[in-house]
Amino acid sequence: MLRAANWQPRRAANNMEILIPGLALVALMVYVSTRIKRSAAKAFDEEIVETDEFTITKPEGLFIPTDATDLAFAAYSKDFGTGEAGSVRQVTTELRVHDGNTLESVRDGIVAVASKVVSEQHLAGGSMILETELSENGVLLEAERRLVEKEGKVFELAVTALSETKGAQQRGIDTLLASFEVK
């Protein structure tokens, strides 16, 4: 009996030796998790992107992927469509720079793949706004493009939205198109 009484306190001490580092590890995991969540939420905040060639404001609700290396700029919504459009993002923004092309040749290429041209506005200074509709895998998409020709390059900012959610996304789309400036 004497031996069993001595053994119990020693076991409790061993439990405390495990409990204290365990609690410290849990606290560290909570801290890191909170930091990660805060950083992830920050990725969806409004942000001004400025390069040597252009400036654009990314509206709140979109994030900039790190793997869009063939594009000058890209931003996507975190939300997807529903039903058949469940694998399509509600909004995608892509900026391509066409070197050595003309505004007309880029425009003609866009019109060739579009299902319908909704409107075309020619603006001063070698630029235009082109609204089109296209269908991908039975999903209707509406695209608004701003084309700017400068120094032998054509900058094509394409903002494409699911037709079913475009109204809810219009404010962000307008921010992207209005803020886009070629230097």
User: What does the angle CA 172 – CA 49 – CA 36 come to, to the nearest 5 degrees?
Assistant: 85
Higher pLDDT, 73 or 18: 73
Confidence (pTM): 0.75
Tokens 């900026």: give the residue. Answer: 95
Band (11; pLDDT cuts 50, 70, 90): low
Residue 169 phi, psi dihedral angles, 5° rounding: -100, 0
Give the residue extent of every domain in the chain.
Answer: 1-42, 43-182
Instruction: Kindly state the helix (H) or strand (E) to which residue 23 belongs, with its residue range.
Output: helix 2-42
pLDDT of residue 72: 94
pLDDT of residue 98: 95
Range in 15-19, 79-83, 144-148, 165-169 the model is least confident about: 15-19
Residue 33 has pLDDT above 80, yes or no: no
Q: What is the pLDDT of residues 84-143, one digit of tens each?
A: 899 999 999 999 999 989 999 999 999 999 999 999 999 888 899 999 999 988 899 999
For the beta carbon of residue 154, count every other beta carbon within 10 angstroms: 23
Return the percentage of the chain with pLDDT > 90, whole number: 55
Max mean pLDDT range (20-34, 38-52, 59-73, 84-98): 84-98
Average predicted confidence (pLDDT) for the chain: 86
Strand partners, 47: 58
Residue 12 has pLDDT above 80, yes or no: no
Nearest-CA neighbor of 163 among 134, 183, 126? Answer: 134
CA of residue 24 relative to chain centroid, distance? 36
- For the domain spanning 43-182, the CATH number is 3.40.1000.10
Token readout for 16 is 């405390």
Nearest-CA neighbor of 134 among 112, 156, 165? Answer: 112
pLDDT of residue 123: 87
Instruction: Report, as an integer, the average pLDDT of 168-174.
Output: 91
d(CA 174, CA 176): 5
Instruction: Report, as an integer, the average pLDDT of 62-76.
Output: 87
